[in-house]
Amino acid sequence: MYATLLSTLENGILTITINRPDKLNALNKQVFTDLNAVLDEIYSNPEIKSVIITGSGQKAFVAGADISEFSSFTREQSMALAKGGQDTFLRIENAPKPILGCINGFALGGGCELAMSCHFRIASDNAKFGQPEVNLGLIPGYGGTQRLVQLIGKGRALELLMSAGMIDANTALQYGLVNYVVPQEELLAKAKSILEVINSKAPVAVGKCIEAANAVFDETKNGYAVEVNGFGDCFDTADMKEGTTAFLEKRKAVFTGK
């Protein structure tokens, strides 16, 4: 269905695997085209409740952008490339369903930026993270300078950005960049166990949690106002009535997403 992605939907969880193992799953124009197509599906298909993004093979999640594709660009072309990448990753960040990054191996450059655009991340014990763009005389262009600061703080982010240093999975855990580190063979099982719990909750409320949390970092929004509106939107749902009734009746709620 997609030239560079594999996708499988099971029990409401869509698993997307970036599948360019010979290029360590590097991001090129076709990957972005495919990601935008699968995001259309994520946003519109009610059967998809949550999403995993990972990379094929044992070595890399995504080892970066495909340098050969843009090394001869003009300034204007380079800015359009960066804006396009930012727009795709903003669609991941703002998706109304949880998107979990499963980082198996290298997540460098654009790969680290893709990982950071997911709602949260878990890593295999061989994962490595970094933004090595200064080695190319560049800076991250797909949101990396912004999200790295948000996730690990300005001092640590600037050290990584300016030194092109890499951190391992345990350091990423210590920095708060990932929620868990697990052996590689347990990565997808761990992700699915987390998402199965989230999938059992009220889908509208889950989406509103994402929207309100994202508003913290959006200077155009008042996060508290977003929270109040989200609370009101949830209050009008059948799921809220089911959830409160089930609580009072001391039974497990059955949510329908309505």
Catalytic residues: 113, 133
Q: How far apart are CA 38 and CA 126, in angstroms?
A: 27
Q: How many CA atoms lie within 13 A of 73 on its CB side?
A: 15
- Measure the CA angle with vertex 9, ends 8 and 15; round to 5°: 55
First to last CA, the chain: 30
Q: What is the helix, strand, coil percentage profile of the chain, to 5?
A: 50, 15, 30
Q: How far apart are CA 191 and CA 13, in angstroms?
A: 10
Closest CA to 126 of 148, 150, 102: 102
